[in-house]
Structure 1
């Protein structure tokens, strides 16, 4: 039976937009479900696990992340981007190449497992933990081609169903294993259960089975773009590995656990923005021949996601110092400032992801790699110095500053290649700079005026001050109208419901 991908019809700009909107809705609903599961998981695991458990898992998971990146090499991304529909030979070549790369990576990780476990004092079961996550890489490599086939044709509803079910399975398994006092093994076991469940559902949705053989001419052609695309993941993964590795040596496993937990919590409210980024790459790839339509689509996406995040995230940042010890317990209070900085960085990364998707779709992954090398080196060097002087909160400060710089540079690189994107840099940075300044003013003034009245009073006063500042900004009618864009989003959603 031939695969759906090889016989799919060509899509015009209007078709791409319709499928992209349906995909965003499907992934959005899935994300809402996943957010609920993550909240339940965070509340339960914060009582069942300790920072040292998260720290050990972060160190072990770093090896799995590196293995996943190295075992891919971007072959599937090349198939998503190319103009013609992938042939059976191209799909089979990519599939078997992924498996061969993964076998090599798993063998290397298994060989280094005892060394890694000893270096970071992971305990007697440390080598087994590394081995377990290494073997789990096959769940990743085996799903790459089914996901590619679904993503290329913007069939994200099928992906959304699979990912929601696997999230349910992971949450249930992780909480169950944590209740058995298995520590970091609960996090590892939950991930493995997720891999098994998701793999089965994605293969069923793609209706494709392995066949054929590897053709090296195809591998070489796909690597022309794929290696640069994959380096955009490998470079920061390697250079940002200083967080679990260097910080683990400097501050200990507990500090690594606090950092890992802080980022996991900070990313919860930003998961919806990831929906846009995920759909953007295949959608932008299909629209490269329509420069004006693509420019308007990109501008609209950036305006709307920026407006939503600049309204929601700052108020969440103000409330965190009170909410974290109240909801999760005092043991996680030291992570509160880090969660605040990570939430700000995550908001900028959401918009940055749209710009990166356009760079990849237009075939300029190489310039993205160059930017990443510079920014990742800065994160590593400046971040380590910041940790020495300010503790783990220094990671958040440096990451936010560097991400803001990256955001400007990426906007400039994208705008200079499309005449319809003139002024994109200002449009991207303005809301983050103005609302960020208002947030800093509100937090600082609330601490000065209510320093003796506790965290709840500080949060309430800071929220009121920020609300007044945002309203004044909106009345000034300078820059992006946050409420105007939010109303446009609501009107668009209502229009789609009426049409349906």
Structure 2
């Protein structure tokens, strides 16, 4: 595996696009492999673990996620975005700062572990679980700079190979530990195996070793962007703590487990779209000086991911109610409706991720933070009311409505700053609104037509109705042509495979 240099030459626009396309292909193949591993893991763990195990892990993982955010002030993200290649002083400063922040966070979590265990009623092993997850944060902090080095130069094929190996190791170890009857510890152990193995491989691939010292002038400069970048993830993550807190208090630990399990299952659209989103930030950062090229890249990416999602996700939503109890067992059937809502939300988040990348790459991380904070506050307030009204399904209903609103607002903010992106709001919202309305109509008509028919019959009728309605939409030629964009994607792939 080659080792990219931290002093690599600047990339031109054509180089960025070529590397970005290669990265998308590599990450796409990795994602397919990861989805296969997820299927294997979900099928095995759904029979070896219980909702309570997922609930305990979700609560412990939340505290660890907070620690990871607090230990990373966005310094590496600032290095990815800056136009000049990072110097050795900049990289060393970022590395040692990450380690110092992480030491502080881990120490605090270790002190608070007994309190957190009692507050969330994690049982006798709760303190140990929080402590182990806290120490595991070093696996995260030690990999930040190697990932930055690889992402900065768009060396995603190397990252894709590493992440696929990580996934295999995590899946195998988690299933083994669950089979041994370790419950929530199986999920924790699998994550630690992944973190340790991945850290070693990333250091080997990046070819960089820590040296130098912290220069506070560099820290202050990088924090000017990094702190806002990090807050856009930290604030929503903190406020999302309402799910284990509120749902756990109102509905119990098993309900938290159902929500966590539903979120994981519904994240398939995000797994596929994260390929584009992950490449987008470093690629957009390289193109920030060429506004026309950046606008064209963003618009094309949004059209293509929207078309794919709107043609696939609605049929997946229809298939979920009969699919979940048959494949995963009756114990998870209570989460079927919740998975449907989360899947719809995830499809919108996929497009939203591209808009977030553009905001960060163009230096508007503070604007993104304000929107993320407002959205998270609404999720907390409206989500709590929705849970009181509809139970755990209210989490999905409120989250989907707020994500739709946030998607429109973000598209409007991005379009306002770039004349090349006029009418972007319409292009972003139209396919989700129209196809979403057709999905609701198909589901409603199928229930009326089948009456007391089984879930499978309802799903088949709804799928047929949705197919007819989508074809009718395509015939009108209004808004984004889903099939036309799909043909454009196929032609692009064929053109790349054609011999020169």
TM-score bucket of the superposed structures, by smaller chain: over 0.9
Matched length: 498
Counterpart position of 1:360: 360
Could you report, residue by residue, the CA deviation over 1:63-122 in whole angstroms, capped at 9, with x for unpaired residues? Answer: 011001110000000000001100000000000000000000001111111111112221
SS at match of 1:139: helix
C-alpha distance in 2 between matches for 1:95 and 1:289: 28
C-alpha distance in 1 between matches for 2:227 and 2:197: 29
C-alpha distance in 1 between matches for 2:256 and 2:76: 33
1:126-205 alignment, distance < 5 Å: 126-205=126-205
Q: Contact conserved, 1:474 with 1:481, CA < 8 A, in 2?
A: yes
C-alpha distance in 2 between matches for 1:181 and 1:77: 40
Give, in angstroms, the shift of residue 445 of structure 1: 1.1
Counterpart position of 2:105: 105
C-alpha distance in 2 between matches for 1:426 and 1:103: 47
Counterpart position of 1:415: 415
C-alpha distance in 2 between matches for 1:101 and 1:86: 21
Q: Contact conserved, 2:51 with 2:255, CA < 8 A, in 1?
A: yes
Counterpart position of 2:483: 483
Q: Which moved more, 1:162-171 or 1:243-252?
A: 243-252
Q: Which moved more, 1:488-497 or 1:282-291?
A: 488-497
Could you report, residue by residue, the CA deviation over 1:239-296 in whole angstroms, capped at 9, with x for unpaired residues? Answer: 1110112211121110000000001000124311110000000000000111111111
Q: Which moved more, 1:364-373 or 1:241-250?
A: 241-250
Counterpart position of 2:380: 380
Give, in angstroms, the shift of residue 31 of structure 1: 0.5
Counterpart position of 1:42: 42
C-alpha distance in 2 between matches for 1:347 and 1:274: 11
Give, in angstroms, the shift of residue 493 of structure 1: 1.2
SS at match of 2:6: helix
Counterpart position of 2:395: 395
Counterpart position of 1:242: 242
C-alpha distance in 2 between matches for 1:253 and 1:98: 34
* 1:221 maps to 2:218: no
1:416-495 alignment, distance < 5 Å: 416-495=416-495
Q: Contact conserved, 2:276 with 2:354, CA < 8 A, in 1?
A: yes
SS at match of 2:83: coil
Counterpart position of 1:405: 405
C-alpha distance in 1 between matches for 2:346 and 2:385: 22
Q: Contact conserved, 1:239 with 1:380, CA < 8 A, in 2?
A: yes
* Superposed structure 1 runs of 4+ greater than 3 Å apart: 3-6
Give, in angstroms, the shift of residue 195 of structure 1: 0.4
Counterpart position of 2:96: 96
Q: Contact conserved, 1:5 with 1:86, CA < 8 A, in 2?
A: no
Could you report, residue by residue, the CA deviation over 1:313-372 in whole angstroms, capped at 9, with x for unpaired residues? Answer: 000000100000010001000100000000000000000000000000000000011111
Q: Contact conserved, 1:5 with 1:85, CA < 8 A, in 2?
A: no
* 1:86 maps to 2:89: no
SS at match of 1:7: coil
Normalising to structure 1: TM-score of the pair? 0.99
C-alpha distance in 2 between matches for 1:50 and 1:268: 21
C-alpha distance in 2 between matches for 1:33 and 1:74: 29
C-alpha distance in 1 between matches for 2:280 and 2:144: 18
C-alpha distance in 1 between matches for 2:108 and 2:270: 35
1:311-322 alignment, distance < 5 Å: 311-322=311-322
Which structure 2 residue ranges, 5 or more long, are not aligned?
none
SS at match of 2:84: coil
Counterpart position of 1:70: 70
C-alpha distance in 2 between matches for 1:331 and 1:6: 51
Which structure 1 residue ranges, 5 or more long, are not aligned?
none
C-alpha distance in 2 between matches for 1:271 and 1:238: 22
C-alpha distance in 1 between matches for 2:270 and 2:495: 25
Q: Contact conserved, 1:16 with 1:283, CA < 8 A, in 2?
A: yes
Q: Contact conserved, 2:5 with 2:207, CA < 8 A, in 1?
A: no
Question: Considering only aligned residues, what root-mean-square deviation do their CA atoms show, in Å?
Answer: 0.9
Q: Contact conserved, 2:269 with 2:309, CA < 8 A, in 1?
A: no
SS at match of 1:6: coil
C-alpha distance in 2 between matches for 1:433 and 1:295: 23
Counterpart position of 1:25: 25
C-alpha distance in 2 between matches for 1:280 and 1:172: 31
